[in-house]
């Protein structure tokens, strides 16, 4: 694991072992329970999960403005995130590892259901301590919209590592898993962990946010027009972004030898986020000689979460778990 010049591994282990002070409001809280709807309410496990705020006080940037909710907005799809949080799912018997889980939603909303709570429960059943990130959405008025999600992802990895002693996992053994636009954010963290995208707030910000590994599930990777998801680009970068900004925020263009081992999953019939996204990321990883594994399923479309029961795409989590134990 690589650490920045401001902190070495001994410092990190000492800090996390002693338990760096988490943001002040990081006591056990109950997440708000949404009303029942067409996709059903969030699970009881989600409602019972402890929540950790990311930032002491208000987060970086200004300009947040709550947006009107669409009339058909399903429950468990989060919008208007003024204060980003982590929702903690603890295993009955831990394997010493943790996962930062980032659901998708085209940077328009965050899917707390099958890509959030359901996946967190499935990972926790395999021994992982899981932290589901409800991050700020760039189209909700924030200044520097293109870096707001990455600010939250970097801070989330640091908060998780600071809490390693409390939750009994190894601080260096924290992976990131992301779906769709959350896969773009996970890939952005895996390739842009060293970017200085916010001013440090406290001692937690001395911790290295580089993930130990990355799982990218039908991820948005390129933000260039041919293969990207147009809604994700518009909400992250705004209308008509220039080529330099598109390149800056396309993770495949920033893979290098420091990028962590990466696991990729995609369905070949995905029309919302074409499988070329994962293939482009794989090509960049191979060029940089970064360990990588990819699973391409004939069918599954987009947004299949844990997969269709009995279908091949339902095997990806077991494949990911086995891969994690090899890395």
- Which of 12-16, 44-48, 55-59, 305-309 has the weakest average pLDDT? 12-16
Q: Residue 309: what pLDDT?
A: 87
CB atoms closer than 10 angstroms to residue 63: 11
What's the pTM value of the predicted model, to 2 decimals?
0.89
Residue 235 lies in a domain: yes
Interatomic CA distance for residues 129 and 25, integer angstroms:
20
Phi-psi domain of 321 (left: phi exceeds 0; alpha: psi -120 through 50; beta: other):
alpha
Query: Which residues lie across from 24 on neighbouring strands?
Result: none
Interatomic CA distance for residues 327 and 320, integer angstroms:
11
Residue 21 has pLDDT above 80, yes or no: no
Q: Residue 35: what pLDDT?
A: 31
User: How many percent of the chain have pLDDT more than 90?
Assistant: 81
Q: Residue 70: what pLDDT?
A: 83
| Boundaries of domain holding 219 | 84-326
Which CATH number does the domain housing residue 174 bear?
A: 3.40.50.1820
Number of domains in the chain: 1
Residue 254 lies in a domain: yes
Q: Residue 20: what pLDDT?
A: 59
Residue 23: pLDDT band by 50, 70, 90 thresholds? low
pLDDT, mean of residues 146-171: 98
Interatomic CA distance for residues 273 and 35, integer angstroms:
30
How do the residues of the chain divide into helix, strand and coil, expressed in percent and rounded to 5? 35, 15, 50
Residue 75 has pLDDT above 90, yes or no: no
Q: Are 220 and 180 in contact (CB under 8 A)?
A: yes
pLDDT, mean of residues 159-171: 98
Q: Residue 71: what pLDDT?
A: 84
Interatomic CA distance for residues 170 and 17, integer angstroms:
10
Residue 32 lies in a domain: no
Residue 100 lies in a domain: yes
Q: Where are the beta strands (DSSP E) in the chain?
A: 50-53, 77-78, 85-89, 98-102, 110-111, 129-134, 174-179, 214-217, 262-267, 292-297
Residue 199 lies in a domain: yes
Residue 228 has pLDDT above 80, yes or no: yes
Residue 4 lies in a domain: no
Mean pLDDT over each residue of the chain, to the nearest integer: 89
Structure confidence by residue, pLDDT tens digits, 32-74: 333 333 334 577 889 899 999 999 999 999 999 998 888 888 7
Structure confidence by residue, pLDDT tens digits, 89-148: 999 999 999 999 999 999 999 999 999 999 999 999 999 999 999 999 999 999 999 999
Q: Residue 24: what pLDDT?
A: 53
Q: Residue 2: what pLDDT?
A: 37
Element (H, E) at 31: none
Residue 164 lies in a domain: yes
Structure confidence by residue, pLDDT tens digits, 240-263: 999 999 999 999 999 999 999 999
Q: Cα Rg for the chain, rounded, in angstroms?
A: 18
Highest mean predicted confidence (pLDDT) among 37-41, 229-233, 306-310: 229-233
Residue 31 lies in a domain: no
């Amino acid at each position: 694991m690589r650490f920045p010049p401001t902190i070495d591994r001994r410092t990190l282990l000492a800090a996390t072992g002693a338990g760096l002070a988490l943001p002040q409001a990081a006591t056990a809280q109950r997440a708000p329970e949404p009303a029942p709807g067409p996709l059903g309410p969030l699970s009881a496990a989600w409602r019972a999960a402890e929540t950790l705020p990311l930032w002491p006080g208000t987060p970086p940037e200004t300009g947040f403005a709550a947006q009107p909710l669409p009339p058909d907005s399903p429950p468990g799809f989060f919008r208007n995130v003024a204060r980003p949080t982590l929702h903690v799912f603890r295993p009955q018997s831990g394997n010493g590892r943790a996962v930062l889980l980032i659901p998708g939603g085209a940077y328009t909303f965050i899917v707390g259901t099958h890509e959030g709570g359901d996946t967190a429960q499935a990972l926790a059943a395999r021994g992982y301590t899981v932290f589901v990130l409800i991050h700020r959405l760039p189209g909700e008025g924030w200044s520097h919209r293109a870096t707001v999600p990455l600010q939250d992802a970097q801070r989330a990895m640091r908060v998780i590592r600071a809490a390693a002693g409390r939750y009994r996992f190894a601080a260096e053994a924290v992976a990131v898993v992301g779906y769709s636009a959350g896969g773009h954010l996970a890939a952005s963290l895996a390739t842009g962990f060293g970017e200085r995208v916010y001013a440090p707030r406290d001692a937690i910000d001395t911790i290295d946010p580089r993930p130990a590994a990355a799982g990218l599930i039908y991820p948005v990777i390129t933000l260039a027009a041919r293969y990207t998801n147009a809604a994700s680009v518009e909400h992250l970068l705004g209308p008509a972004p220039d080529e330099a900004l598109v390149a800056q925020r396309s993770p495949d263009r920033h893979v290098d030898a420091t990028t962590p081992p990466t696991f990729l999953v995609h369905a070949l019939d995905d029309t919302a986020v074409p499988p070329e996204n994962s293939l482009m990321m794989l090509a960049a990883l191979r060029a940089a000689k970064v360990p990588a594994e990819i699973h391409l399923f004939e069918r599954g479309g987009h947004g299949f979460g844990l997969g269709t029961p009995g279908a091949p795409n339902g095997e990806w989590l077991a494949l990911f778990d086995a891969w994690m134990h090899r890395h």
